[in-house]
Chain A
């Protein structure tokens, strides 16, 4: 037997279970079913848009009137009010340049290997996309910002454990060949740049390139027709709206329309003032989403918006019951430039 056969033999394992095949197939079929915005649906959406548009205008009038006449008792702002306020305050943004950069800080919390306290890691991530074709390569610059105990209480437990500066997680999966147990380091890392020739999915789901963002619908009804995966799929619609608001450089009218549409959806509730993980304060709304890591479970998503500018500050994932932070994406900055950005420490494509 030669070396290739030895490799093949050693790595051979059982095939997928019937259940795995069926689940995967169901996921694909759902995707296929969700994909089609055929002509019939678009037309249907247009039919209803008149009614919705009038309703929207009426609410806007009520909003203006209420600031004068205050027909309702004074109460904390509703989710609707928060989002409508964000919609009206969305500032005009300079949208021009051949590169767009989206600077995010991503973070997550998890237990130390002994389960005594919780640590929080963060990674800065810049995505640089060229304005032309969706399929042009884009770049991702990542820098690991380090790990630390999540809260003062966790810090005390961490000190009691001898203030470790790295955490080793042992193996659970004997057939993995990556070679090392998984370590989390407290110390930050160097930036690394990755060129990606994959299509940028955030942009593709709008069906537009960066240069064509002004062709996106600027009405709640128009956006709904584009973003609702299938009729009545509120979770999918909310997810798409959240992505559009947080991660896609749309013109201010489009983002305002996204806020208006979100304000009209059931299940979106106000939380009031909230501070994101970068220390910035804004107004927060909450809604439930399916968990990405555990099928069948739900999480709460918290969208924090800057009440002055209408800019999104963060999208956070919270536990469904206690509302504790599980992971977050803070939107640090969205930048346009004509100069090719720096891509430090480019990594080989593999």
Chain B
């Protein structure tokens, strides 16, 4: 009649790691991690690449994680940042592999608008500055490494330590990349509070 049973949930991180190791022998256990983290990985990917790409890449993140679970080393970090690391690599690969991913489609139906250009198959890019104002322009101008750090902190809400784990870089590098990225973003916002001032001005 006192405490509800949920209160003795184990600390999530330790629990994630044990699910990982159980999944080596019982692969179906891995689905627990999907249920826990799919939505936030999806949101992170959608923020970076749009929902269309996220639909596919969020699922892909978990397929890769599943196949790679033998190589996961709990000593090098928790499961959640590890998943973000995989998702971030997919973002990079999505962009880098542009040519490779120019998968073709039928030329027999040029009139069909869906089939009329590769843009629905290539990582669709946008002139962000024209769509989203100065902030988007500043984000687009960042180096990929700086952008990864900024978005892992701002969107995914990872700590410095977790960003370092997920990207496999020293925490000090995380700090310097984040500072650089934030300076650019602040400059772009012109120190205007975007909630009050018009950031698109």
Contact = CB atoms under 8 A, between A and B. Distances in A.
Contacts of A181: 125-127
Interface stretch (A31-39, A249-257, A267-275): A31-39
29 contacts: A1-B195, A3-B189, A11-B151, A11-B155, A12-B43, A13-B47, A16-B43, A16-B46, A16-B55, A25-B35, A28-B31, A32-B31, A108-B102, A110-B118, A111-B115, A115-B116, A121-B102, A169-B122, A172-B119, A176-B48, A176-B49, A176-B50, A177-B139, A178-B49, A178-B95, A178-B126, A179-B128, A293-B103, A327-B102
B198 to A, nearest CB: 13
A13 B155 CA distance: 11
B15 to A, nearest CB: 19
Contacts of A4: 153-154, 182
Q: Which 4 A-B pairs have the closest CB atoms?
A: A179-B140, A24-B59, A171-B126, A326-B104
Contacts of B48: 11, 176-177
Contacts of A180: 125, 127, 140
A177 B194 contact: no
A173 interface: yes
Contact of A31 (B63, B100, B116, B126): B63
Nearest to A21: B38
Contacts of B54: 16
A109 B99 CA distance: 10
Contacts of A3: 182, 185-186, 189
Interface in A34-59: 35-36
Contacts, number: 245
Nearest to A5: B154
Residue of B104, B131, B135 most packed against chain A (CB within 10 A): B104
Interface in B115-159: 115-129, 131-132, 135-137, 139-141, 143-145, 147-148, 150-151, 153-155
Given A15-B43, A172-B119, A319-B106, A10 B128 contact: no
A204 B68 CA distance: 10
A124 to B, nearest CB: 11
B108 interface: yes
A114 B100 CA distance: 21
A141 to B, nearest CB: 13
B66 A31 contact: yes
B21 interface: no
B103 A118 contact: no
A67 interface: no
Given A24-B38, A110-B102, A177 B154 contact: no
A92 interface: no
Contact of B63 (A16, A28, A179): A28
A350 B92 contact: yes
Residue of A108, A181, A350 most packed against chain B (CB within 10 A): A350
A287 B100 CA distance: 22
Chain B interface mostly:
helix
B104 A16 contact: no
A198 interface: yes
A201 B68 CA distance: 10
Interface string A91-132: 000000000000000101111010110100101010000000
B51 A13 contact: yes
A178 B128 contact: yes
A172 to B, nearest CB: 5
Contact of B124 (A173, A194, A201, A348): A173
Contacts of A340: none
A172 B39 contact: no
A115 B122 contact: no
A175 B116 CA distance: 21
B9 interface: no
Interface in A174-192: 174-182, 184
Contact of B58 (A16, A118, A171): A16
Nearest to A8: B154
A8 B71 CA distance: 32
A177 B185 contact: no
A317 interface: yes
